[in-house]
Amino acid sequence: MRKPVVVDVKRGVTSYDVAVRAGVSQSAVSRCFKEGASVAPATRARILEAAEALGYAPNAIAQGLITRRSNLVGVLISNLTNLNYPEVLAELTRRFSERDVRVLLFTLQTESDVPQALRQLWRYRVDGVIAAARLEREAIAQFDARGVPLVLYNRDGEGAPVSSVCCDSRAGERALVDRLADAGCRRFGVITGPADSHVSQERVAGATERLRERGLPFEVAEGGFDYHSGEVGLRRLMMTTDGRMDALVCANDAMALGAIDAARHTLGLRVPEDLSVVGFDGVGPAAWSSYQLATVRQPVKRMTEAAVAMLLERIERPDLTPERRLFAGELIPGRSARGG
Amino acid sequence: MRKPVVVDVKRGVTSYDVAVRAGVSQSAVSRCFKEGASVAPATRARILEAAEALGYAPNAIAQGLITRRSNLVGVLISNLTNLNYPEVLAELTRRFSERDVRVLLFTLQTESDVPQALRQLWRYRVDGVIAAARLEREAIAQFDARGVPLVLYNRDGEGAPVSSVCCDSRAGERALVDRLADAGCRRFGVITGPADSHVSQERVAGATERLRERGLPFEVAEGGFDYHSGEVGLRRLMMTTDGRMDALVCANDAMALGAIDAARHTLGLRVPEDLSVVGFDGVGPAAWSSYQLATVRQPVKRMTEAAVAMLLERIERPDLTPERRLFAGELIPGRSARGG
């Protein structure tokens, strides 16, 4: 029978305990848990067995102090209840986990949460940060000053030189407008996201630019990216256009779904016969058979893969210059717009 | 004009730099950033100003080694693309952030991800863990052995003495069955979640127990908690019952929404006239006007508040015994079931 091991939990298991049990030196244990250091295979096996039996795990925090790498990255995300972001966060976390990097998560309710999040990021000595949240130039400058790599997700540095991964909002919106105009739509409405959203600004600019090029009239209403604001926006636009609007461009899917429901269940309109509706993102519910939304799907897997790769590269080589990667979205013709 | 401060970024700003700029001793700087230590208000102000100007942040990791508190908690979550969990995660992160505690996030794709996640949790010396994921008794025992507090979210320890916060699945399902039976439904179908899901087991047990008590016949089909498996499950149950089923109990909302869409758009049934459908969770889309789902809403804000409070209490006082808190859900009568 194996001799039971008594460990003082309060003190915690140390490399010394493992060394004693494995019958090796303490420095052999240290080498075993250090990347790139050499240990004989048989010795390594004995050490790992002892470590497992004792529940020993090398202290990542202490190692981080020595190597100056915490193996922690920060992820700032501004609106987790947005239908698109849970998938983004799940993909980012999974990919970092595969590379043995941990995610310190910050969900931001308002702009004013940014300074507090940054203070914590510095305190925990994160190796790098991915931000799917609005950062002012001043905040971006702090990353430069500290030499902490930053990759922005679905927004750019608004002029500051910073790495970013984006879905091409403008090209996507232009394709959606063409999809509607080619199907015969003539009188357009546009529902924007929140005024301070960079994503919304880009999408609305793409749509209205293309509408002007094709000489098509349109009205604009402000929304908030949520389902309910799609309902409200549609009702407002219908009043502005005396009910003559036949196509609605929403700056994201959630608002498009709200607008479709309001059209059908409140205004008694048929979608797409009376009103064509398009969104942007390609979230799960957009494909549900009640909606079959015409939209542009963001290539989330490729975008998160790129963001993780760019960040890890820059953690290894802080001298790399910023890079912007722009991914084309996929046009989903859908059935919420005429001609689908 | 202010003299520019030159800092060697590679080396990082230290408390020494702050002391020099503020004209105080290095130990005064240390005291200023230590909880409970006394520093004269004027001195503190000078130090904070210097720290701000230099971008100095005390090293949380080094502090953690001294205080034996990392101010990190682990959150394990098994299925972030589940419609209910993004809200849970956003609430947990916000509440911890308010208490100055950071979240180390682990998203688990499969059961086999658990051991790896646990190894990382021990390496980072987390102060405690909230798990909205299935943990075997063996995994739970590791928390006890290491003295790391654990709170389970929407599952219990399956016999192991561990703290947990749950929504009362059985009571909720019983209320939903009564809601349907009282409206005149007579022939029932039940779509379960995945076979290994504790939440699904509890919900299905609650529903079928109540159906038996009321002497109502039912058939069961296995689903996977996702929208698509609601569609598939409905079609299978309709075959089993020769189309005579008039009420469908789904173990969560996503499957109920899939079943409603399949009933309407594939099978040509009217909901609720031909078929009444109920879910469980109270996710956002359940309230959309296309669905107006009859469901039980989990009190996510109160449940996350309780989970955070219970965990922080146990971090302060590791001797506290486990506690189970069971919250009643709110019955939403909805319009997807007759009599709503």
pLDDT per residue, tens digit, chain A (340 aa), is 444 444 444 345 677 888 888 888 888 887 777 655 677 878 877 887 787 777 676 666 555 555 667 899 999 998 766 778 888 998 999 999 889 899 999 988 776 788 889 988 998 889 999 999 888 888 999 999 999 999 999 988 777 889 999 999 999 999 999 999 999 999 999 999 998 888 899 999 999 999 999 999 999 999 999 999 999 999 999 999 998 999 999 999 999 999 999 999 999 999 999 999 999 999 999 999 999 999 999 999 999 999 999 999 999 998 999 999 999 999 999 999 998 7
Q: What is the DSSP string of B116-185?
A: HHHHHHHHTT-SEEEEES---HHHHHHHHHHT--EEEESS--TTS--EEEEE-HHHHHHHHHHHHHHTT-
Fold equal for A15-58 and A68-168+300-330 = no
Q: Please, what CATH class does the domain formed by A15-58 belong to?
A: mainly alpha
DSSP type of residue A319: T
Contact B80 A61 (CB under 8 A): no
| Chain A, chain B: beta-carbon pairs less than 8 Å apart | 155
Contact B65 A61 (CB under 8 A): yes
SS3 B44: helix
What's the number of CA atoms in the CB half-sphere (13 Å) around residue B231?
A: 14
Of the partner residues B61, B72, B258, the one whose CB lies closest to the CB of residue A64: B61
Q: Is domain A169-297 in CATH 1.20.1250.20, yes or no?
A: no
Cis amide bond preceding A272, omega within 30: yes
- The conformational region for residue A314 under phi > 0 = left, psi -120 to 50 = alpha, else beta, is alpha
Average pLDDT score, chain B: 88
What is the least distance, in Å, from the CA of A172 to any CA of chain B?
25
Residues of A in contact with B285 (CB under 8 A): 285
Q: How do B188-192 and B218-222 pair as beta strands?
A: parallel
SS3 B49: helix
Residue pair A106/B98 in contact by the 8 Å Cβ criterion: no
- The conformational region for residue B79 under phi > 0 = left, psi -120 to 50 = alpha, else beta, is beta
Give residue B39's identity as a one-letter amino acid code. V
- The conformational region for residue A163 under phi > 0 = left, psi -120 to 50 = alpha, else beta, is beta
- Rounded CA gap, A157 and B127, in Å? 36
- Rounded CA gap, B302 and B308, in Å? 10
Model ipTM over 0.95? no
Of the partner residues A58, A61, A145, the one whose CB lies closest to the CB of residue B61: A61
pLDDT of residue A1: 40
Residues of A in contact with B70 (CB under 8 A): 61
- Rounded CA gap, B101 and A252, in Å? 33
Contact B65 A60 (CB under 8 A): no
Residue in the block written with tokens 């991914």: A327
pLDDT band of residue B9 (cuts 50, 70, 90) is very low
Q: How far is CA A63 from CA A35, B15, B239, in A?
A: 11, 21, 60
Has residue B33 got a pLDDT over 90?
Answer: no
Give Cβ neighbours of residue A304 (< 8 Å, ≥ 6 apart).
Answer: A88, A91, A92, A95
Domain boundaries, chain A: 15-58, 68-168+300-330, 169-297
**What is the rounded radius of gyration, in angstroms, for the C-alpha atoms of chain A?**
26
Residues of A in contact with B266 (CB under 8 A): 289
Residue pair B283/B307 in contact by the 8 Å Cβ criterion: no
- Rounded CA gap, A304 and A298, in Å? 11
In 3D space, the residue among B293, B94, B272 whose CA is nearest the CA of residue A80 turns out to be: B94
Going across the sheet that includes A218-222, the strands are A218-222, A188-192, A247-250, A276-278
Residue of chain B with shortest Cα separation from A52: B119
Contact B122 A57 (CB under 8 A): yes
Q: What CATH number does the domain located at B70-168+300-329 have? A: 3.40.50.2300
Task: Read off φ and ψ for residue A126, nearest 5 degrees.
Answer: -60, 150
Contact B125 A61 (CB under 8 A): yes
The two tokens of residue A30 are 């240290």
Residues of A in contact with B265 (CB under 8 A): 289-290
pLDDT of residue B73: 97
Residues of A in contact with B15 (CB under 8 A): none
Number of Cβ within 10 Å of residue A322's Cβ equals 18
Q: What is the DSSP string of A79-121?
A: -TTSSSHHHHHHHHHHHHHHTT-EEEEEE-SSTTHHHHHHHHH
pLDDT of residue B18: 82
Q: Which of B65, B91, B97 has the most A C-beta neighbours within 10 Å, making it the best mutation to test the interface with A?
A: B97
Contact B284 A58 (CB under 8 A): no
pLDDT of residue A5: 44
Q: Is domain A68-168+300-330 in CATH 3.40.50.300, yes or no?
A: no
Q: Is domain B169-298 in CATH 3.30.230.70, yes or no?
A: no
Contact B58 A123 (CB under 8 A): yes
Contact B61 A124 (CB under 8 A): yes
pLDDT of residue A6: 45
Of the partner residues B7, B104, B289, the one whose CB lies closest to the CB of residue A261: B289
pLDDT band of residue B11 (cuts 50, 70, 90) is very low
pLDDT of residue A86: 85
Of the partner residues A9, A266, A284, the one whose CB lies closest to the CB of residue B145: A9
Q: Which of B107, B119, B126 has the most A C-beta neighbours within 10 Å, making it the best mutation to test the interface with A?
A: B107
Give residue A179's identity as a one-letter amino acid code. R
Give residue B128's identity as a one-letter amino acid code. G
> pLDDT tens across B195-223, in order?
888 889 999 999 999 999 999 999 999 99
What is the least distance, in Å, from the CA of B175 to any CA of chain A?
28
Residue pair A265/A238 in contact by the 8 Å Cβ criterion: no
Mean pLDDT of B158-164: 87
Residues of B in contact with A257 (CB under 8 A): 288
Of the partner residues A62, A85, A257, the one whose CB lies closest to the CB of residue B65: A62
What is the least distance, in Å, from the CA of A85 to any CA of chain B?
9
